[in-house]
Chains A and B, each alone.
Chain A
Amino acid sequence: MTPPPSAPSIPPTFSVVAETEAGHSPWSDAWHRLGRNRLAVAGGCLLLVLAVACIVGPWFSAYSYEDQNLDLGAAPPGAQHWLGTDTLGRDLLVRILYGGRISLGVGLCATMVALSLGVTYGAIAGFFGGKTDMFLMRVVDIMYALPFTIFVILLMVFFGRNIVLLFLAIGAVEWLTMARIVRGQVMALKKMEFIEAAQVLGFGRRRIIFRHMIPNVLGPIIVYATLTIPAVMLLEAFLSFLGLGVQPPMSSWGTLIKDGAEKMEEFPWLILYPGAIFSLTLFSLNFVGDGLRDALDVRAAKD
Chain B
Amino acid sequence: MSRVSLPSASLLPAAVCCLGLLLGACGHRETGVERGIREQVLHRGLGSDVAELDPHLITGLAEINVVSALFEGLVAEDPRDLHPVPGVAERWDVSPDNRVYTFHLRPTARWSNNAQVTASDFVASFRRVLTRGLAADYATLLYVVANAEAYHKGRLTDFAQVGFAAPDERTLRITLTNPVPYFLSLLTHPAWFPVYPPALEGAGPPDRRGSRWTRPETIVGNGPFVLKEWRPNQVLIVSKSPTYWDAAAVRLQAIHFHPIDSVDTEERAFRAGQLHLTEALPVGKVDSYRRHEPTVLRIEPFLGTYFYRLNVTQPFLNDKKVRRALLLAIDRQVIVEKITRGGQQPATSFVPPAFAGYAPPGDARRDVAAARQLLAEAGYPGGQGLPAFDILFNTSENHRLIAEAVQEMWRRELGVKIRLVNMEQKTVLETRRALDYQILRSVWSADYLDPTSFLGVFASDSGNNHTGWADARYDALLQEAALTADPAARADLLRRAESMLLDEAPLIPIYYYTTVRLVHPSVQGWYPTPLDHHPYKHIWLEN
- Please name the residue on chain A nearest to B338 by beta carbon: A70
Report chain B residues within 8 Å CB of A120.
Answer: none
- The answer to whether A71 and B338 touch (CB under 8 A), given A241-B395, A248-B422, A266-B284, is yes
Q: Contact flags (1/0) for A228-251 with B, using CB distance below 8 Å?
A: 000000000000111100011100
Q: Which of A123-154 contact B (CB under 8 A)?
A: 153
User: Can you sample 22 A-B contacts with CB below 8 Å?
Assistant: A66-B404, A68-B408, A70-B339, A87-B284, A87-B338, A88-B338, A88-B404, A240-B395, A240-B422, A242-B395, A243-B421, A243-B422, A243-B423, A243-B427, A247-B420, A248-B403, A249-B407, A249-B420, A263-B282, A266-B285, A266-B287, A266-B288
- The answer to whether A70 and B427 touch (CB under 8 A), given A247-B419, A248-B400, A266-B285, is no
Report chain A residues within 8 Å CB of B395.
Answer: 240-243
Q: Contact flags (1/0) for B381-414 with A, using CB distance below 8 Å?
A: 0000000000000010100110111011000000
- A243 B424 Cβ-Cβ under 8 A: yes
Q: Please measure, in the bound complex, the distance between the C-alpha atom of A227 and the C-alpha atom of B397, giving whole angstroms.
A: 28
Among A161, A243, A259, A265, point to the contact of B285 (Cβ < 8 A): A265
**A73 on the B face (CB < 8 A):** yes
B281, chain A: closest CB distance, angstroms: 12
Q: Please measure, in the bound complex, the distance between the C-alpha atom of A242 and the C-alpha atom of B334, giving whole angstroms.
A: 28
The interface residues of chain B, by DSSP majority, are classed as helix
**B264 on the A face (CB < 8 A):** yes
Report chain B residues within 8 Å CB of A70.
Answer: 334, 338-339, 405
Q: Contact flags (1/0) for A146-179 with B, using CB distance below 8 Å?
A: 0000000100110001000000000000000000
B421, chain A: closest CB distance, angstroms: 7
- The answer to whether A241 and B404 touch (CB under 8 A), given A247-B419, A262-B282, is no
Leading 4 A-B pairs by shortest Cβ distance: A243-B423, A263-B284, A70-B338, A248-B420
The interface residues of chain A, by DSSP majority, are classed as loop
- The answer to whether A259 and B405 touch (CB under 8 A), given A71-B338, A247-B419, A247-B420, is no
Q: Please measure, in the bound complex, the distance between the C-alpha atom of A66 and the C-alpha atom of B397, giving whole angstroms.
A: 16
- Please name the residue on chain A nearest to B264 by beta carbon: A262
Report chain A residues within 8 Å CB of B403.
Answer: 248
B416, chain A: closest CB distance, angstroms: 15
- A262 B334 Cβ-Cβ under 8 A: no
B210, chain A: closest CB distance, angstroms: 24
Q: Please measure, in the bound complex, the distance between the C-alpha atom of A156 and the C-alpha atom of B430, giving whole angstroms.
A: 14
- Please name the residue on chain B nearest to A90 by beta carbon: B404
Q: Please measure, in the bound complex, the distance between the C-alpha atom of A73 and the C-alpha atom of B282, giving whole angstroms.
A: 16
Report chain A residues within 8 Å CB of B400.
Answer: 248
Report chain B residues within 8 Å CB of A243.
Answer: 395, 421-424, 427
Q: Please measure, in the bound complex, the distance between the C-alpha atom of A263 and the C-alpha atom of B422, giving whole angstroms.
A: 21
A71, chain B: closest CB distance, angstroms: 7
- The answer to whether A87 and B401 touch (CB under 8 A), given A68-B408, A247-B419, is yes
Q: Which of A23-79 contact B (CB under 8 A)?
A: 66, 68, 70-71, 73
Among B264, B282, B284, B404, point to the contact of A249 (Cβ < 8 A): B404
A86, chain B: closest CB distance, angstroms: 9
